[in-house]
Amino acid sequence: MPFLWNSTNHFNLANLVTMTNITCGLLATYFITQSHFDYAIILAWMGGAFDIMDGKIARKYHLSNEFGVQLDSFADFLSFVLVPTFLIFQAVYSSLEGIALITVAIGSIYYVISGLRRLIQFNINADAGEVAKYFTGVPTPLGAILLWLTYLSAPFITWIGVLACMVVIGALLNSNVKIRHP
């Protein structure tokens, strides 16, 4: 299967691993709709593991290409922006009504747009196969981890506290904070 090792093939090994991340994100979304939050969280973390692996494979075997950069950002958007936002919306905010529901909807949309903006800006500035020493702004995987921690703290804080954390993390995605690349 030489296509697995061909950097110009859309179905090379690195991109297939990224597609596995996308699959985990889609399945996590399904489980959120069924209120199986534990399964969704496990799948989201599996997606994170695949996100780490795809980059390492792409660099080690020189499989990076523009398609892979775009595909990886789509996977990041699904697994690290939409899934944790949707999880919090369904698990924490589901009992809200009226102005409270509108407020958390606006905050959730803000986070999603912040994550999307960050990924688009990253793609504009990225060169296939290049890895910078520092990220400018919180990367979306770290933003997702911070949202998971917020989700875990939800029983101990009000929905307003959860919303405040989500908005602050959303702002950090597009901040000038420097985060060392692992």
**Bridge partners, 106 (sequence order):** none
E strands, 89-166, are 134-136
What CATH number did the domain enclosing 28 receive? Answer: 1.20.120.1760
Tokens of 104: 């958390």
Distance CA 115, CA 109 (A): 10
**Are the C-beta atoms of residues 181 and 135 closer than 8 Å to each other?**
yes
**Are the C-beta atoms of residues 79 and 28 closer than 8 Å to each other?**
yes
Please report which confidence band the pLDDT of residue 63 belongs to, taking 50, 70 and 90 as the band edges.
Answer: very high
Please report which confidence band the pLDDT of residue 131 belongs to, taking 50, 70 and 90 as the band edges.
Answer: low
Please report which confidence band the pLDDT of residue 130 belongs to, taking 50, 70 and 90 as the band edges.
Answer: low
**Are the C-beta atoms of residues 5 and 12 closer than 8 Å to each other?**
yes
Q: What three-state secondary structure class fits 54?
A: helix
Question: What average pLDDT does this structure show over 127-141?
Answer: 79
Domain that holds residue 110: 2-180
Distance CA 141, CA 62 (A): 23
Question: What average pLDDT does this structure show over 66-91?
Answer: 96
Question: What average pLDDT does this structure show over 66-86?
Answer: 95
**Statement: the pTM of the whole predicted model exceeds 0.85:** yes
* pLDDT surpasses 80 at 20: yes
- pLDDT at residue 127 in the model: 67
Q: What proportion of the chain, given as a percentage, has pLDDT over 70?
A: 97
Q: What angle do CA 97, 101, 103 make, to 5 degrees?
A: 145
- pLDDT at residue 132 in the model: 72
Please give the tally of structural domains in the chain. Answer: 1
